[in-house]
Amino acid sequence: MVKAEAVHKSFGRLEVLRGIDLEVNPKEVMCIIGPSGSGKSTFLRCINHLEKIDAGRLSVDGELVGYRDRGDKLYELPDSEVCKKRSEIGMVFQSFNLFPHMTALENIIEAPMLVKKESRATAEARARRLLDRVGLADKVDAYPKQLSGGQQQRVAIARALAMEPKLMLFDEPTSALDPELVGDVLDAMRGLAEEGMTMVVVTHEMGFAREVGDSLVFMDAGIIVEAGNPREVLSNPRRERTKAFLSKVL
Dihedral of CA atoms 106, 112, 114, 116 in degrees, nearest 10, equals: -170
Least distance in Å: CB of 88 to another protein?
8
Residue 114, helix vs strand vs coil: helix
**Span between the terminal Cα atoms of the chain, in Å:** 30
Q: How far apart are CA 246 and CA 250, in angstroms?
A: 6
Least distance in Å: CB of 67 to another protein?
17
- According to the binding rule CB under 8 A, does residue 246 interact with another protein? no
Residue placing its CB nearer to another protein in the complex, 82 or 221: 82
The Cα angle at residue 79 between residues 55 and 90, in degrees rounded to 5 = 80
Sign of the CA dihedral 174, 175, 179, 181? negative
Q: Per CB under 8 A, which region of 9-17, 57-65, 78-86, 175-183 contacts another protein?
A: 78-86
Residue 70: exposed, middle, or buried by beta-carbon count in 10 A (0-12, 13-18, 19+)?
exposed
Least distance in Å: CB of 100 to another protein?
5
Give residues 146-205 in contact with another protein (rule: CB under 8 A): 146, 156, 159-160, 163
Least distance in Å: CB of 221 to another protein?
25
Residue placing its CB nearer to another protein in the complex, 91 or 202: 91
Note the residues at the interface with another protein (CB under 8 A): 48, 50, 79-80, 83-84, 86-91, 93, 95, 97-102, 110-111, 114-115, 143-146, 156, 159-160, 163
